[in-house]
Structure 1
Amino acid sequence: MAAPALPTPALLSDFARTLPLLQPRERSRLVQRAEVWAGWSRAQRRAQQAGLAAWDALPAAERGERRERYLAWQALPIDERRRIDAAREVFAAFAPGQQQELRARFAAVDLGTARGWRLGPALGADYAALQPLLAQVPVDEHEALLRVLRAMTPPQRQDLAVLVQRTPPQERGALRRELVSTAASSRDAWLYERLQR
């Protein structure tokens, strides 16, 4: 059965036959972007093109790093983004020397820990202890695991970190699945029972 015809912005008229073949979410994003572009002034379009040229001029590794940071930011819950924005404002008020010192301290942190902070303030603080649980999580389990970890209290995450350290690597996948399938109301009891084993 053919996909229904969709209104196509004039900008995308060359792709009128291809658009219906795209996944609905991707098609919608493309159409929205075309509509935004069509509404821009000539100066706005030139600025966007200059930004894209600057992006393309970056080394591939730098583009990958920036893309990863952007996707991590997009994945954060809104309350975590607000906490980061508030911290950014506090940081901006520091004297340049103090900012430089803090940047140097963060640059000295090992790469794994630094990347853990991309999970936001709550999980970033617990990342080192929870890293064995977060390592090699299948893509289809990642979002659910992060949702559960963010819903846990700091003491629950501390108990979980102890449990993770006691769990052999080959059993951590089962531990993750059990954690995710445990109702929030039963999580304290589950952690207690698992820690007593």
Structure 2
Amino acid sequence: MFITFEGIEGTGKTTQIGMLKEYLESKGREVLLTREPGGSRVGTELRKMLLHVESKDLTSLAELFLYLADRAQHVAQIVRPALEEGKVVICDRFADSTVVYQGYGRGLDPKMLHELNEIAVDGTWPQLTLLLDLDADTGLRRAMTRNMQDGTSQAEGRFEAEHISFHNRIREGYLTWAALKKERFKVADASGTPEEVFEKVRHFVDQRLEEA
């Protein structure tokens, strides 16, 4: 099974992904954790360009095609081989991030972005996408605190440096896109404790595994 996590900055995706990995492994499943951008060797280099604050001069189209290049390599080299081996693949961000960030956030056509994603993923779509929803003010505050603690404010802080209006558009974009793709998306309120949020995540994952 291929599971992806989405959400604005600071929703706690990394924490929930770690908890889900432990839970699934306790059930005897082999799990691969990965992320976008940066899940492959090539993607690691692309991630540096995409997230560093000094890359603020990237045009919207240049940003888009770097993400698509990262995704095409990631799917071919990491995601698809792991799925073929029978692993559960959990990915921190995937194709929906491009539709929302470059579409609802940057103003590019979401329909065009989805069509380009279709090429990049080459048929490999998640069976379940978990959207962790949180108000933009809280999420951005959490993300900036995390980056300061980790020492990544420069290396991975380009999106956190965007104006709050951008983050509000991203949140609304995610909710709009999730409503359009409700057969795959499940939305979880991320305002509670990690344990409270995980109870919702676990429920959605167990439900989808039973269906499968």
**TM tier, shorter chain?**
under 0.3
Larger radius of gyration: 1
TM-score normalised to the size of structure 1? Answer: 0.22
**TM-score under structure 2 length normalisation:** 0.21
Query: Which structure has more helix as a fraction of its residues?
Result: 1
